[in-house]
Amino acid sequence: MHAITIPEPGGPEALVWAEVPDPVPGEGEVLVDVAAAGVNRADVLQRQGVYPPPPGAAPYAGLECSGRISALGPGVTGRAVGDEVCALLAGGGYAEKVVVPSGQLLPLPEGVDLVTAAALPEVTATVWSNVFMISHLRPGETVLVHGGSSGIGTMAIQLAKAVGARVAVTAGGPEKLAACRELGADILIDYREQDFVEEIRRATDGVGADVILDIVGAKYLARNVQTLATNGRLAIIGLQGGAKAELNLAGLLSKSAAVTATGLRGRSLAQKAAIIAAVQEHVWPLIAGGRVRPIVYRTVPMRDAPEAHRLLESSEHVGKILLTT
């Protein structure tokens, strides 16, 4: 088969389409012929050499894919060759074939085609696990989503609105904010021109945000805590603004607030399977009912992965970028 390899870390040009050995499914795994793969910030970090795959994962980038099952490993039940699926991966999506633990497979949601389904596993699993399973967003609460026009952000807006929450977003520029509004965002904050702490305070009559989903990290930490409501929950899922920051714990104590920081890639198979099962139970019916939809900005042939990475790093996109085989 062919895959996007990274002979040496570097810029987008470091991604090389090359012939590699076919993977073989082991106990509890299936082999999927990849139709499409999602492009994520974590793939950029792997390309740069700062986010290697966990032990046992495929060496290629790609944390989600869609495709058809072409072989079953020992001990797999409830799956069949030819099934159309999408999958959460620890790596390997940038390839023509990938091995996937059976518990990380999802059927295609009703009304979603095979290629578009590749836009769903990473964002739905990330948002559902962090905003709902960990932060317990409830109807009537206010959630602040940083990076509202990103793949994660566009899914977070829709899921939060679907459960009856009030949604605030930060994004860069009027076009991205307009896209967030179309998806249901109630409070629109241009982070280039506005202070989100002040805007949330004004929009909530000084109460603050009950939940914050943050992709920025250190740069926003102190301001996020300022923005939290009493009993607020800050979920950190990215470090685009750095990994180290000083935090005055008195601010957390005074609000009885909580800060969590989680990733998907390094979690155990059992944890990932539990998240995927929750996504299928709670999110898939919303997609089938038309209340939530994948947002795909552009599809790019997989052999042109450098172009896809340049597009992602330009931050011009709204929603997901996909690679197609």
Could you read off the pLDDT of 53-97 as tens digits, one per residue?
A: 999 999 999 999 999 999 999 999 999 999 999 999 999 999 999
CATH number at 117 reads 3.90.180.10
Q: Which of 185-194, 234-243, 268-277 is predicted with the least confidence, judged by mean pLDDT?
A: 234-243
Distance of CA 92 to the CA centre of its chain: 16
Is residue 129 in a domain? no
Look at residue 233 and tell me whether its pLDDT is greater than 90: yes
Provide CB contacts within 8 A for 132, sequence distance 6+: 159, 163, 282
CA 192, 196, 199 angle in degrees (round to 5)?
115
DSSP state of 34: E
The residue from 220, 243, 259 where one domain ends is 259
The residue from 259, 286, 304 where one domain ends is 259
Look at residue 128 and tell me whether its pLDDT is greater than 90: yes
* More reliable by pLDDT, 250 or 124: 124
The residue from 259, 277, 306 where one domain ends is 259
CA distance 258 to 211: 10
Same domain, 3 and 60: yes
pLDDT tens-digit profile of 197-212? 999 999 999 999 999 9
Same domain, 86 and 180: no
Q: What percent of the chain has pLDDT over 90?
A: 96
Same domain, 77 and 27: yes
Same domain, 268 and 221: no
Same domain, 212 and 162: yes
Q: What percent of the chain has pLDDT over 70?
A: 100
Same domain, 170 and 213: yes
Q: What is the pLDDT of residue 251?
A: 87
Total domains in the chain come to 2
- Domain span at residue 224 reads 134-259
